[in-house]
Structure 1
Amino acid sequence: MAEMDPTTLAKIIQYMQDNYQHSTEHKDKGQFAAMINVPVKYCTGRFDNNFLSGEMDSQTVKQLLKKDFVYEGGNLVLAIPKGAGKKAVHSERLLLMCGENGDAVTPARNLLNKVDGGCAVFYTYNSPCMERCLNQLRDEDERKKVEKERERNEKKGKNVEIPPAVEKCILNSLSMLTNHQGLKAFVFTRVYDNDIKGNTAQEIQDKKHLLAAALKLVAERVPLYRCSGTSCVKCLNDNQIVGQCLSNLPKR
């Protein structure tokens, strides 16, 4: 199968930033997630800025995002973060995982179903966060808490409906991209700041070590790239996450 062209990929990502990203001065610091599924020709040859010509104009799309948090088009889906604090729903989860309304088909899955064997690129401005998006243990702990609560109610003879734990880790959802038969990539531009901040050099190094392990789990499921400006770097090399994918460049 043909390889994703890094130069073309960089231009695709730049196009999505230029057209769909809200201000980096916003409280979400410009965070948004997007996914395209287009004919393979748009990812292997010279960049064609008409690759999303069937979508609404970008200003209309951004207005819809402000109101609905998710946009679903013909070859494009987008999301911005919804809510805040413990009730926050991250943009990656809005696209990859079932919605709060129990939707059977996620926006990303629905998009993959539209173009069989197409070029699928999932993009998030900030890398998925360690606290929720890449935290399998947190989801497991939540499931155990719910199960214990159900057991306590059963012992007390209480017939109380306990809602299932809400999964927030996106790793299992990446199987749809793993199984996708066309070209595919998972891309981010900036490393999520909280995942590499620390008070000492050792604390920062320890955080980067944990982040590398988590990003490797992504890269083992779908080719992982860091794209900024006119270039993209593949994050997994010789079975290790490269340094360029573990630290931030100056902001645009």
Structure 2
Amino acid sequence: MTFSLATWNINSVRLREPIVLKLLQEQTPDVLCLQECKSPVDKIPTEGFAALGYTHMIARGQKGYNGVAILSRMPIEEVGSEDFAALGHARHIAGRLDNGVTIHNFYVPAGGDVPDRQVNEKFGQKLDYLTEMRDWFRAERPRKSILVGDLNIAPREDDVWNHKQLLKIVSHTPTEVAHLAETQDAGGWVDVTRQDIPDGPLFSWWSYRARDWSAADKGRRLDHVWATPDISNAAHSSRVLRDARGWEKPSDHAPVFACFDL
């Protein structure tokens, strides 16, 4: 069985329903994981998704911010959600497909603007969130699992447009990169995107502030697809749908795709 999966920080699923439908119609992933839905679960516009065959959804929602959802053409059973760092935020949902694969959908806190937890509470919350993710994966060693989402960290030098200029910018600081690496190692996670595309600059986010985001190309790879070692070799065809960043009323993130032969 081959299935395709996409992850996308949609920055309001209700406001951007038209481009979610466009993605589902044109790219037809079997599973679409959304972050920053900014909607209570009962307000997510599921009718249009269902009409395209995405009749299954599991989600956690909040009014106006955060929120994660998994849309699927295949049956998916919710198997939990975690509130790491006790923030009370809707930032994680996990589901299991009929083929036994568990999908974790995460929206890691952005961390504010100042990379110092002494003066910026949000940065401390981000590090605490990652630490608790790490400890959870150490205790609950995942198997046959995929982790996706906006992890809000660009770990590699070629995951940002300028490594030296961004070393003190939240999302690429050495402290954050180290925390993410510990989390990845704790679960034995394989970075599927970089397994498929090992070399060269690769971005999934471009700021709204840029007058011409594509020409400036000051991007970062904040959105990730990981898999446990027992299924990582089944992954292939990873890509970033850069064009979606230029769609009408776009998110500042582009969808990231992968396929799995399982």
Asked if TM exceeds 0.5, the reply is no
Q: Which one has a bigger Cα radius of gyration?
A: 1
TM value normalised by structure 1: 0.40
Flag the structure with higher helix content.
Answer: 1
Which structure has the highest strand share of the two? 2
